[in-house]
Amino acid sequence: MPFASVCSTVCSAEVEYAVAGEGPGLMLVHGTGGNADSLFSGFVPHFGGDRTVIRPNFSGSGRTTDEGNALTMEMVVEQLAAVAREAVDGPVDLLGFSLGATVATAVAATHPELVRRLVLVGGWVHSAGARDQFYFSTLAKLFAGERDLFKRFVQLTAYSPAAVDGVGHEGLADYLRQDQWPPLGMGRQIDLCARVDNRALLADVIAPTLVIGLAEDQMVPVDGSRQLHAGIAGSQLIELPGQGHMDWVAAPAHIMELTRAFINGK
């Protein structure tokens, strides 16, 4: 995969990204602990026939390298902006999931020339509330401690009860045995999650915006999507019933179709 170089006052980095297809740009931004392949590989055949599909790995994921400092919103924003400029000629349609949705919001607010339409899935506005601070500090402590407990906590909060039951006893046991996840860089991303605050940026988002909320989300409660909708003028809100934070990843067709309809102006 190619790399985009970032040299700015906020960071220096080599940002890995995948690119496929031809046509107007569609950039897909992963969330905490995710990467370009694990979340969005299924989007490429769906959109690659008429879109240039761009999947960056921001710091903490994939082979992206930087100076190793604590992540800031500004750092990750500049990484995505550099990829958008290098990968295509012209603005991109930008979809962000979870932490990726918070970064996508900030990109749209601070680099409006780079974003044609914006799709925010399972996102939120700020982490200042007591519940979010408690959640992300717990996640950070578990990440720094026993890996097994961390993975159990993530499974129980990232998916709806029905989805966890659907994995089954053996599936859950296999999940705990797998060594590929979580990536080492996830700790930096969790730390950034606890410091998200885009309240001052929402009024600067001028791109047409679709907010997709996940009604049974225990990791990022759906109220975060409602706050995004309330703060971004003219945005649309769709709430998906029965969906936990990560449920859609196993069956992304509905979100892909909502995205296609929106970026095509329907």
pLDDT band at 123 (very low <50, low <70, confident <90, very high): very high
Checking if the pLDDT of 92 tops 90, the result is yes
Q: Each residue of 58-85: pLDDT tens digit?
A: 999 999 989 889 999 999 999 999 999 9
Catalytic residues: 98, 217, 245
Model confidence band, residue 4 (pLDDT cutoffs 50, 70, 90) = low
Looking at 3.40.50.1370, 3.20.190.10, 3.40.50.1820, 3.40.50.300, the CATH number of the domain 3-126+197-263 comes to 3.40.50.1820
Q: For the chain, which residues make up each domain, given as ranges?
A: 3-126+197-263
- Residue 8 pLDDT more than 60? no
Q: Determine what percent of the chain is predicted with pLDDT higher than 90.
A: 88
Indicate the pLDDT class of residue 12, thresholds 50, 70 and 90: confident
Residue 5 pLDDT level (bands cut at 50, 70, 90)? low
What pLDDT does residue 9 have? 45
pTM: 0.95
Cα–Cα distances (Å) from 204 to 39, 112, 229, 231, in that order, read: 28, 8, 13, 10
Q: What is the pLDDT of residue 180?
A: 83
Give residue-wise pLDDT tens across range 225-261. 999 999 999 999 999 999 999 999 999 999 999 999 9
The mean pLDDT of 87-115, rounded to a whole number, is: 97
Angstrom distance (rounded) from CA 20 to CA 7:
25
Residue 3 has pLDDT above 60, yes or no: no
Residues facing residue 3 across a β-bridge: 16
Mean pLDDT of the chain, nearest integer: 94
pLDDT of amino acid 1: 62
Residues ≥6 apart with Cβ < 8 Å to 232: 105, 202, 205, 209, 211
Within 13 Å of residue 118, how many CA atoms lie on the same side as its CB? 33
Higher per-residue pLDDT: 10 or 244: 244
pLDDT at 16 over 80: yes
* Confidence band for 10, pLDDT divided at 50, 70 and 90: low
